[in-house]
Amino acid sequence: MAEFIKPYNDDPFVGNLSTPVSTSTFSKGLLGNLPAYRRGLSPLLRGLEIGMAHGYFLIGPFDKLGHYGNRCSFAGGFSIFSWANYYSNNLSIYVWKCVFSRSDSKDPLQTSEGWGQFTAGFLVGAVGGSGFAYLLLANIPVLQTAGLSLFP
């Protein structure tokens, strides 16, 4: 066990966050395919993909655990639309703190125009993803009967 636990570069005062899990090829491949780190993706498409995932997966807690419980699913849908608008406004405010402090960045997401595209894509994606999930939740009985009639 002593050969595994050694100071980084034999210097006990230098830290290293590299672990067998974080440096494995599986972890690097999985994280490299996330839209935040994928190469060649424009800020608009990056925001759209991230927003769609957030809107789609957050509609369930807002719908089932919201203020009205399981009585009114429209309230859950409206809550997620409000959340998407609120979060997009927060992303727009965040740009003033971080992006404008760097003007010579080569990454298009680090410019004010790129961050604006990311925010717009996030808003459209979150509303679209949550709208799609809301339609699926609202039409579960129809989808179940359609699925049963396809496979008699």
pLDDT digits (tens, 9 = 90+) for 57-87: 888 777 777 666 666 667 767 777 888 888 8
Q: What distance separates the 2 farthest-apart alpha carbons in the chain?
A: 69
Task: Tell me the C-alpha to C-alpha distance, in Å, between residue 64 and each of 42, 75, 130, 143, 152.
Answer: 34, 10, 14, 19, 32
Residue scoring higher pLDDT (1 or 41): 41
Taking residues 132-151, what's their average pLDDT? 80
Distance between CA 79 and CA 133 in Å, rounded? 13
Q: What is the pTM of this model?
A: 0.74
- 5, two tokens: 């636990």
Judged against a pLDDT cut of 70, whether residue 9 lies above it is answered with yes
Domains of the chain plus CATH, in order, are 42-150 (1.20.1240.10)
Taking residues 116-120, what's their average pLDDT? 91
Q: What is the mean pLDDT of the chain?
A: 80
